Amino acid sequence: MFLKYLSMKNISTYLDFLKEKGKPLSEINQGSDEIALTAIDALEALALLKDIQTPILGGDILSEEKNELIYAYQLWGEEYYYLSWYCDKNENESKADYLQRSYALARAGIINANKAAEQLKKKCYVVLVTG
């Protein structure tokens, strides 16, 4: 029971973090409940998700123009489409290995997208897709 309480508390902490730091995507995706975070906040969210052993299935990279969120490749150019990523579990991969790989891939994806944004002098936002 105590472990279930800790897990619920950590999930609540993550959801509160999203609510406090994030920007809802409902403006560009009607009915979406996804939340975009700055790259720095996305790295912090990654740590929270690691605490609750939640895999990162992928990430979408967005930017901002005139206070509106836009998928980065739509603003920066099609050549930046690769910045979004996904991470499927391999057939013979253990849950622990998959979790670690999903966190490593997410961290690399966030850092790469932020570097591209800095080079372009644009803002970078990340939507973490969780499982």
In the block, tokens 């997410």 appear at 106
- Could you state, in order of their start, the residue ranges of all structural domains in the chain? 2-130
Classify 71 as helix, strand or coil. strand
Task: Provide the CA 4 distance to its chain's centre, in angstroms.
Answer: 25
Prediction pTM value = 0.86
Instruction: Give domain 2-130's CATH number out of 3.40.50.1370, 3.30.70.20, 3.30.190.30, 3.40.190.290.
Output: 3.30.190.30
Structure confidence by residue, pLDDT tens digits, 82-100 = 999 999 999 999 999 999 9
* Segment 54-69 mean pLDDT: 92
Classify 1 as helix, strand or coil. coil
